Chains A and B, each alone.
Chain A
Amino acid sequence: MALRIPTLAEISTVKHSYRFQYLINQTICDKIFTKLQLDKTYPNNLKDLKVLDLYPGPAVQSAVFNNRFTPKQHLLMESRKSFAEFQDRYLIPYDNSNHLTMIRKDPYDWSSFTDLIDKEKKFQPEVQSRNHIHNEFLIMGNVTEKKYEGLIIQWLNCLGYKNWLMKFGNVKMLLWLPTQTAVKLLALPGTKHRNKCSLYLEAFANTNIVALSHSEHIKDFDKKLIEKSSPVLIDNSDAIFPINSKDAITLLEINPKDHAIDVDTWDYVTKQLMILRGTPLLDAVESLGHGAREYYLEKLTDKSLMERCPATFTYDEFLYIIKLFKAWPFKPDIYLELYDIKIDEFRN
């Protein structure tokens, strides 16, 4: 064992959790890693693996992972004072075999990554082709504060654009997030929570639910998804830090897909249509641009689409709508739409 796992008593000394939640039960961590069967993705028993661990917090999961797999490089990116001090004090390596580094940068800033990789060159994964999940690079992260939902969405956006860490290939992400967010991200067509982001995730990744706290929330997910993933349920009252947290959190395994989608157009069309997710396409479609209704009425081969609402459309149906949009001679300039709102005037 190369890393000492911090104890509950030690973790209790952390002053601020910054409204994040962390799994601190070693046994459950092990159960999760067993379930994940990471060795199937990462050959050589994960010995060649480089791991970027974002917002690791008390780092129990990081320590368990490190001890179990001893990856080639394991980098904890953490800038929050309480957790940084905690890691410095309690995450004591017994020997040098763990290849663990702690970087005091904030994963919130894009520059933390460019500095680390491009400037300081402290973390250099190999670029791999997109026909498989990257087999030497794994991202772990915890974004369980509700207000950080925007950050999660921005990270996921990078799946489509193939930038940020995804420029190295299709990199698997193990991401803790609020269950509420996970429910939205995994909503299926025609369900209540279906939205632009779930559509997005469906388009650009295969996702599994790995674990979740407050097991009663399992019903918030679609049954089919739960059956497919059969997640680890965490109900021990002291398994999650801070103890007795009320809000549920979920661990997702996100495996990016290869794609040839024009993401800007995809983004524009899904955004415009999902604003009116509950309105029949016949009425909603005009928000794609002046005259869109007439155009789609003429071009759509499956006229029944016009009567259905965007929230019920599958990924393939959207692909079809987007294909028609691209062929529309009078389509608006989607980039100009980006700047349409003057924020300051809006406050009035």
Chain B
Amino acid sequence: MLRYRQVVSSCQQANRQFHSVLSLRQLSSAPSSIDSTTIANTPLSATSAVSNQVPLFFNNPRNKSNLGTSFSGSSSSSAFALRNDPFTNSQSLVASKMTEQRDIMQLWSLLEACLQTNNFPRSFSILKSLYEIKSHRKQNFIEDYNLYLDARAQNMTNIRQLEKLLEDDLTLFFPLVNYNDKSLAILIHHAIRLVPDLDKLRSHIKTYFKMGNDNYKGIVSYLDILTVSDYKRLYFELKMISDKDIPYSIREVAITVDSNENVVPESLNNSSLLATSSDATGKTLFDEEIKSLSKDVTQLRDVDTIGMKVVKHTLLGLTLNDVQRDQLSNFITPEMQTTTDQSANIDFYQIYKQLKTSKQKQDFELMLNEFNQERQRALELRATDAAKERWKHDFEEAKARGDISIQKSLNAKLWEWYTDMLPLVKEEIAHVHDKQLLKNTDFANYLKLVNPEKMCVITILELLKLNSTGGIMEGMRTARAVISVGKAIEMEFRSEQLLKTESRIFKEVNKKSNEFKKYIRNAKNAFRSMKIERSKIVWPQAVRARIGSVLISKLIKVAKVRVEGTDPVTKEVIVGKAPAFSHSYQYHNGVKLGIIKIHKSLVNQLNGERLAASVQPQLLPMLVKPRAWRNWKSGGYFYSQSLLVRAKDCPEQLAYLEAASNSNAIDKVYDGLNVLGNTAWTVNRKVFDVVSQVWNSGKDFLDIPGIQDKVELIPRPANSADPGEINLWKQRNREMVNKYSANRSMRCDSNYKLEIARAFLGEKFYFPHNLDFRGRAYPLSPHFNHLGNDMSRGLLVFWKGKRLGPEGLKWLKIHLSNLFGVDKVPLDERVAFTESNLDKIRDSAEHPLDGEGWWKQADEPWQALATCFELNEALKLETPEDYFSHQPVHQDGTCNGLQHYAALGGDIEGAQQVNLLPGPKPNDVYLHVANVVKRRLQKILETKDDPVAKFFVEKLNRKIVKQTVMTHVYGVTMVGATLQIDKQIGSYFENKKDSLFYSQYLAKHVFAAIKESFHGAHLIQNWLGECCKRISKSVRLDVDQNSFKNGNKPDFMTSIIWTTPLGLPIVQPYREIQKKQVQTNLQTVYISDPFAVNQINARRQKAGFPPNFIHSLDASHMLLSASKCAEDGLDFASVHDSYWTHACDVEIMSKNLREQFIKLHEVDLIERLKEEFDERYKNYVQVVKVPRSNPIVQEILTLREELSQKLGRPAKLSDEIYMERTRQRLLNSEDPEKVEEGKTMTTTISVTMGNEEALENLDNLSSRNNGGANIFVPLRLPAIPPKDNFDVHDVKDSIYFFS
């Protein structure tokens, strides 16, 4: 121990420093403490190593009284930007950091895999490699070592052994690294485990506490190391810590002595049942009885779907235990229809609705929440086991019925494949080490992380799910397949890991009373959030691809289907077996594509249910409130990680996001998003019944295509037919096949939605949300949600009901009118529309399918039907106002993009047309534009006889221009607009060419009309475009020579980046794609490299910026409104620019969203954007092409000539950059001589610096001329266009703003 103490003292110095950092971190917020140490090294911030690439607006909105002031931070942020010397980090440094980061990530992921598989020698050698990376050694290495230490400790029987290991490793192998508090926490945890004698144990722990620099608080904060029982011992037995030292989230669990301890029998505890590993029989979950459970509605056709069964099974299979059943029976009165026998058919929603008092409702919800916590966990974790059990069950049943049944039952077949595949996979794992020696890869370690049973199930499910993706009708692309399977395995591993640690930490505390369980649940939630936030490791793509390919190749080997064929000679029918999957290649556009084909007979058996097969139970609506967003990578589901922003392959965006998140700059975003996630929903049973009836008929109905078993193709013309005729035949058949497949996938999609709806009948559920890269919110559960089509929306109602009251009744009527498209008249006229149709409403509600079917004429028929049901019920009451309504009522913006543009540009006329100004009735912007166009055309006709103008003067209406006006804001091109109009007027013409000619003619006028009415907006759109153009063509001065192609053509790397009013940084992700080649068992696949930072795609950057900017504003508006509505106690949901709440709350919501719009636009957002751009792109230069004749260009060319002479070769653009950089370095030097030297220098770039007149001149020239010389000028953004006089405060009284 003596030597050990020496180590201790020698480390004291460094420790002090470490501790001060640590305690600072803890002050900010405990869970992110690990993150903050890793920031500097994440892939993300590697890109942002350059000073400008940090969000400029770091203000925490919470600390500011309003948004207006929160934007004024640019001056302080500029100080922040200047803190970093712009020349210390060049492009090539960024690139090398990315490479380094990639190496670290690979080592991490491999280390994790090796530790899991107890491959300690290999783990140790990986540690050595990590230690060699200097930057990593300094900051993170000890964390890696701790992982190793903890894993080694698990197998040790003596605490001295562990101490010695730490001592030896740190002295002999990693002398430049010190242990940290976590290392000590590990020692404590194992000491508690290994030292039985209390005094001895106390002495050990005392030493460890001392080693922590007298500050043991840091050591005991590691709740992923110390278990609840560790804390209990430290607190109760050893009395070495106070209750305050225990992390808050588990404090109550740790210090509460439960009076009911051991009273509740284990069997009643669902969580322990569920936590058992997959090799447990799980019989209780999958026994016969459960199979017969149903939600008591007509069985849907096509229900034999693989994935859905898993879901339903998981949901329904969780029966109530006795205590819960007792609890439930308290709520059930004799008049209730529902029965709780055998736990079948429990419709929670019905029970809830029938409860009388709010106390009852509250209690009921508490009970349901308790119950659902367990079910949610099962839903996320038990999917593969459930699938496997299901297959087995169906196989055994089919076997009992005979061979033919096995052929018919898909599940039985899947069971056969599974059982055949399993031994092959096991063998592969057993022998992979031998192979590994040959190939020198570490891949073997990964293959052992998830048990082979699960891997087999996952592979089968993934492949079936991928059927018909990537443009392959009966199969999929190999690259996608291998990656998907690899990723699914990785996800499974992560969830398992989480569950495993969770179980370890809370091992002792499961056998407690129900009351106590609440504490545990809170503690577990906190724990999960913390774990998920910390997870940073992703498997390398190559590993995913290899795992995927190994598993898929095994499946291909064993999976067989029965085939029937005719012998061409004997004409006999022959039965045989063929592989269900086969790997082959196809050419497309000259590119050879590897594909995995699924045998036709299997495809037929999947019966167009590819979507249904793709159910990921992890991604369904949640039964409990989602984990709240508090951090950029923690929120949503319980056991899987979702990021706040869906930034696929954009490390840059993530870096910004992380920085913003860590500085608490985006709390408002979290608030809004959490509001969306906390809205409880249920399925509208009445609508569901109608839909399922229609569905089961198999016929066409509204948007649902009918069942079509196969496509009838036109027979092939004779060989000798003209090639033109043969081509036509091919084309027609291709169209038919495409139509067939579109219908089929449409039907699948509906089927899938219905299946989920059915599984969730009577349930209370939530949609966790996250954002796209512009900040727009989307539910994480992809298939069935309120963003879906009319049918999905019609199937959803709020769980909570609210009394209509007179206002609510009125709004419900207006809602119906809106759904019928009667939405451009004053509100009372809309009410009148509904009231004049009361008979039809009743008929629709009472005879939806056998009545007049008035509802089917609505623009949104399913939602109209839902509203008819609701109105009909209300109107049945003596006082309809007393009706408790669950129907969401929508308020939609009038062409919301234009609303934002009009506010930005201050357009009075435009503002009026999109209802930003109060008026007696709503304005119809589409009609307005149509009228402006008409007037223009009439003017033309006054001067000349123009048949096209004449045609449109007669035929033009709002519908023809609507789509173009709507999409104009989002940057529709002339070609796009022409096609949109052609769609509307095509039927007037026999010849497509004529129709297109007319359409193009009109498109020009529509554009001009919009420009006329929204002049300010138009100027802003152009300004945004121009800014983007210049930024895309700019480079940083510190760019490295290596990143110039042939020295004269720079790689343009600069993305457009801005900060939304809520502080969310947006990085446009449009870059060129670069792929890496990976060898796998099946073939070589090309996979995009997540760590690559490539050149930007200038065209997409430019086309995307104006619409993305506007979207970032509408998203901000929505989130602000959401927060405000929640504050006021409203239920709130949104589909981008359509905001939903209960009928009785519409007025409050409308008021809020008007106020939030004003708040948003009170600040001059364009000015702010310009400030941000000016700051961010300060030291950039831009390439322009200008005529050589210009005097200043002449001067530059002369300087270039001189430079060439100096160099003895033609000077390149990269040389010019180098010269300017040298000049600036001299100017910034502390040596006065050097400064003087810098002052005397003139470079090709400095010539134009500060010479505004010359630059202005060059701007004009460059925009007109295509030829000339390429020169660098400082990047300058154009001046902001003038704003018109509209005052956004006028929105306050505009009732038709959203209506």
Verify A286–B470 contact, CB threshold 8 A. Answer: no
Indicate if the CB atoms of A339 and B719 lie closer than 8 Å: no
Q: In the complex, what distance in Å separates the CA atom of A264 from the CA atom of B734?
A: 17
- Asked if residues A329 and B592 are in contact (CB atoms below 8 Å), the reply is no
A242 to B600, CA, bound (A): 53
Contact A341 B471 (CB under 8 A): yes
Task: Give a binary string over A259-285; 1 marks a CB under 8 Å from any B CB, 0 the rest.
Answer: 000011000000010011000000000
Give the contact stretch, choosing among A52-60, A63-71, A330-338. A330-338
What residue of chain A has the Cβ atom nearest to residue B724's Cβ? A110
- CB neighbours of B724 from chain A (8 A): 109-111, 114
- Asked if residues A287 and B584 are in contact (CB atoms below 8 Å), the reply is yes
A290 x B730 contact (CB < 8 A): no
Binds A, one of B33-41, B226-234, B433-441, B569-577: B569-577
Tell me if B's interface is mostly helix, strand, loop or mixed.
mixed
> How many B residues, CB 8 Å from partner?
47
Give A347 Cβ to nearest chain B Cβ, in Å. Answer: 9
Q: Is the CB of A338 within 8 A of B730?
A: yes
Q: A290-B578, A342-B738 are in contact. Are A332 and B563 (CB under 8 A)?
A: no
Contact with A along B722-735 (1 / 0, CB 8 A): 11101100100110
Question: What's the nearest-Cβ distance from chain B to residue A152, in Å?
Answer: 13
Q: Decide yes or no whether A291 CB sits under 8 A from chain B.
A: yes
**8 A Cβ contacts from B568-601 to A:** 568-569, 574, 576-589, 592, 597, 599-600
A326 neighbours in B (Cβ, 8 Å): 568
Q: Which of A76-84, A162-170, A176-184, A219-227 touches B?
A: A162-170
Indicate whether A216 reaches chain B with its CB closer than 8 angstroms: no
Whether, in the assembled complex, B954 has its beta carbon less than 8 Å from a beta carbon of chain A, the answer is: no
How big is chain A's contact interface, by range?
Answer: 35 or more
The CA-CA distance from A342 to B477 in the complex, in Å, is: 13
A332 and chain B: residue at smallest CB distance: B600
Q: How far is the CB of B464 from chain A (nearest CB, A)?
A: 16
B257 within 8 A of A: no
Q: Does A345 contact B (CB under 8 A)?
A: yes
Given that A290-B578, A290-B599, A346-B471 are contacting pairs, would A330 and B565 also be in contact in the complex, using a CB cutoff of 8 Å? yes
Q: Mark A142-173, 1 if CB is under 8 A from B, else 0.
A: 00000000000010011001111001000000
Q: Is B709 an interface residue (CB 8 A)?
A: no
Residues of B contacting A9 in the complex (Cβ-Cβ under 8 angstroms):
none
Decide yes or no: A345 and B471 within 8 Å by CB, A290-B580, A291-B579 being known contacts: yes
B472-491 interface mask toward A, CB cutoff 8 Å, 1 = contact, 0 = none? 11100000000000000000
Distance of A264 Cα from B586 Cα, bound (Å): 17
Q: Which residue of A lies closest to B715 (CB)?
A: A335
Cα A70 to Cα B721 with chains together (Å): 32
Question: How far is the CB of A310 from the nearest CB of chain B, in Å?
Answer: 12
In the bound complex, how far is the Cα of B1088 from the Cα of A109, in angstroms?
41
Please, which residue of chain B has its CB at the minimum distance from the CB of A291?
B578
Task: Known A110-B722, A161-B720, A162-B720; judge A339-B733 contact (CB<8 A).
Answer: yes
Within 8 A of B (CB), among A289-348: 289-291, 326-333, 335-336, 338-343, 345-346, 348
Contact B585 A287 (CB under 8 A): yes
Convert B544-581 into 0s and 1s, putting 1 for each residue whose CB lies closer than 8 angstroms to a CB of A.
00000000000000000101011111000010111111
Q: Which residue of A lies closest to B720 (CB)?
A: A163
- The answer to whether A341 and B586 touch across the interface, beta carbons within 8 angstroms, is yes
- Complex Cα–Cα for A113 and B730 (A): 20
Q: How many A-B residue pairs have CB under 8 A?
A: 115
Q: Does B160 contact A (CB under 8 A)?
A: no
Instruction: Report how far A57 CA is from B113 CA in the complex, Å.
Output: 68
How far does the Cβ of B334 sit from chain A's closest Cβ, in whole Å? 57
**Which residues of the partner chain B approach A276 to less than 8 Å between Cβ atoms?**
584-585
Q: Does B270 interact with chain A (Cβ within 8 Å)? A: no
Given contacts A275-B592, A345-B471, contact A327 B586 (CB under 8 A): no
**Shortest Cβ gap from A192 to chain B (Å):** 16
- Nearest chain B CB to A221 CB, angstrom units: 23
Find out whether the CB atom of B719 lies under 8 angstroms from the CB atom of A340.
Answer: no
A276 to B588, CA, bound (A): 14
Given contacts A329-B567, A341-B472, A341-B588, contact A290 B597 (CB under 8 A): yes
- What's the nearest-Cβ distance from chain B to residue A261, in Å? 11
Flag if A163 contacts B738 (CB, 8 Å). no
Closest beta carbon of chain A to B592's beta carbon, Å? 6
Measured in the bound complex, the distance between the Cα atoms of B727 and A164 in whole Å is 12
Q: Of all chain A residues, which has the CB nearest B561?
A: A290
Interface contact B719-A154, CB-CB below 8 Å = no
Considering the chains assembled together, what is the distance between the CA atoms of A339 and B730 in angstroms?
Answer: 8
CB distance from A128 to the nearest CB of B (A): 15
Interface residues of B in 1195-1236 (CB under 8 A from A): none
Closest to B738 in A: A342
Find out whether the CB atom of B713 lies under 8 angstroms from the CB atom of A164: no
- Minimum distance in angstroms from A171 CB to a CB of chain B: 14
CB distance B723 to A342 under 8 Å? no
Q: What are 25 of the A-B contact pairs (CB < 8 Å)? A: A110-B722, A110-B724, A110-B727, A161-B720, A163-B721, A264-B719, A275-B584, A275-B586, A286-B579, A287-B585, A290-B597, A291-B563, A326-B568, A330-B574, A330-B576, A331-B565, A332-B600, A335-B713, A338-B730, A339-B473, A339-B738, A340-B474, A346-B471, A346-B589, A348-B471
Closest 9 CB pairs of A and B: A110-B724, A287-B584, A329-B565, A291-B578, A345-B471, A346-B471, A339-B737, A330-B565, A290-B578
Interface on B for A, CB 8 Å cutoff?
470-474, 561, 563, 565-569, 574, 576-589, 592, 597, 599-600, 713, 716, 719-724, 726-727, 730, 733-734, 737-738, 741
Known: A276-B584, A291-B563, A346-B589. 17 other contacts (CB 8 A): A158-B723, A161-B723, A162-B719, A163-B719, A164-B722, A164-B723, A287-B584, A290-B563, A329-B565, A329-B566, A335-B716, A338-B733, A340-B586, A341-B586, A345-B470, A345-B471, A346-B471
